[in-house]
Amino acid sequence: MPSLDMATVLELYKTSLLVGVVIFAYAAIVRRERLGAPPLCLAFLLLAVGSTVAGWGEMGILTWPSWRLFTLVVGAAAYGALWIGLAEIETRRASARRWLVMTYPAVLVVIALATDFDADNGIRGAVFNLTAVAAYAVSGRAMAAGYRQEPLPARLLLSAVLAFLAVTHLASALGMLGLYDGIPRPVDAFMIAIVMKFGLAVAVILLAQERVARELVDMATVDVLTGAYNRRYFFAVTPARCAAGDAVLLVDVDHFKAINDGHGHAVGDLVLKAIAGRIRGAIPDPTRHARLGGEEFVVFVPAAGPERAMALAERVRAAVVVPAPAADGLPPRITVSIGVAVSSADGDVLDQLVIEADRALYDAKRAGRNRCVLAGVWSGAPPPEHAGDGSVVRRGSRGV
C-alpha cells in the first residue's frame, strides 16, 4: 500500500475537522447547546483553516514566509477556543474571563516579530504542539476530576481521549526539539490526530446525551423544589415488604401553613429547601429519604431497630432546627415533628409501616410538636419518645 504524502494527509485532517465543525454547529444551532458547542465549533474551524493553509504551503502554492506565522497563530487561537469550549462543557457555565486566553496568539505574534523564532520549523512545530498539550491536558484533568460529582461514563471517555491527544502532541513537540526520537512520522501523527479528533467530537456528544438522559431520570424521580427524591421514586425502590427492624420516619414541618399564609409561598419554599438539605446531611448511607408532598418528608432506614431508629429521628429533628429565612414575623427557628415506625420481627408491609408512622406523627403533633414519637409495631418494648426540650414524654394513643 503506497504511503500518503503530507499534503494528502493534511487534506484528510482538514476533512475530519470540518466534520467536527458541522457536528458542533448543529449542536449550537439546532439543539441550542449554548455552552461549549460554539467555542468548539470555532476551534475546529480555525484548525481546519490552519491545516488548509499549511497544505497549500506543503504543495508549494504559498511560500514559506507567508504562512509559517499565520498557521502558528491560528493554531494557538484554535486551542484557546477548544479549552474554552471544554471548560464550559465541564463546568456547565460560561465565563467571560476564559476568553482572556485568546490574548496568547497576540503574544506569539509579538515574540515572533521580535525574535523570528517561527523561521525555525522545529521550534515553530514544538510551540504549536506544546500549546495543544496545554489545552488537552488541562481540559482532560478537569473532566476527570469532575467525575465524582457527575459519574457519567462519557466523562471518562472524553478524559481518555484528551489524555491521549496530550501525550501524542507532547511526544511530537519533544521530537521536533530533538529530545525524543520515538515519535511517529509526521504523516502517521496526523493520521492519529484524525482518528482522535473524531473521538473527541463523539465523546462530547455522548456526554451531552448522557446528561439529557440523567436529567430525564431526575425529572421522574427527584422533587424539583428540594432536590430530594419524590414519592413515586421512594415507593418504587423501597421494598414493599420490610424486613424485621426496618424503620420509616415521617417528618412534618410544624406550623407550615402559618408560614405560607403569613409570609408567602416563596418563604415556604426556602424553608422546605433548607429542611431537605438538613435531612440529607443528618442521615447516613444507605438510608433513603424523599419528599412525600407538601411539607412532609419520609426516611427509610434498613435494619435499624427501635433504638437506632429513634436516635436517628432525634438527630434529624435536631438538624432541621434551622434559622428561619429573613422575613418579618417568622419564628426564630423552624421545627419538625417526627413519627417513627419499626417493622416487627415478622416483617411488615411498607404501606402499613407508613400508616403507623403517620399515626405516631399525629401523636407528636398532639403532644406539642418538635418531638419524635415511636409507633408500637415493634415486638419488644419500645424506648420512650424524645421531646424537643430533651425531656422524655410518654406515648400518646395511636388510635389502634
Positions marked catalytic: 295
Helix (H) or strand (E) holding 122: helix 121-145
d(CA 145, CA 122): 34
Q: Calculate the alpha carbon distances from 130 to 126, 133, 170, 249 in Å.
A: 6, 5, 6, 58
Q: Is beta strand 392-393 parallel, antiparallel or unpaired with respect to 385-387?
A: antiparallel
Helix (H) or strand (E) holding 250: strand 247-253
Residues 6+ apart with CB under 8 A from 76: 104, 105, 108, 128, 131
* Entry field: residues in the chain: 400
Tell me the DSSP string of 35-104.
SSHHHHHHHHHHHHHHHHHHHHHHTTSS-HHHHHHHHHHHHHHHHHHHHHHHHHHHHTS--GGGGGGGGH
Kindly calculate the radius of gyration of the chain based on its CA atoms and give it in whole angstroms: 31
Cell matching residue 361: 406523627
Q: Is beta strand 336-342 parallel, antiparallel or unpaired with respect to 247-253?
A: antiparallel
* Cβ neighbourhood burial of 1 (10 Å; 0-12, 13-18, 19+): exposed
Query: Cis before residue 325, ω within 30 degrees of 0?
Result: no
Alpha helices, H only, 264-386: 265-282, 305-319, 350-366
Other CB atoms within 10 A of residue 141 CB: 15
Check if the beta carbon of residue 92 is closer than 8 Å to that of residue 64.
no
Q: Calculate the alpha carbon distances from 241 to 170, 235, 246, 256 in Å.
A: 59, 11, 10, 32
SS3 269: helix
- DSSP at 118: G
Query: Would residue 246 be called left, alpha or beta, if left means φ above 0 and alpha means ψ between -120 and 50 degrees?
Result: beta
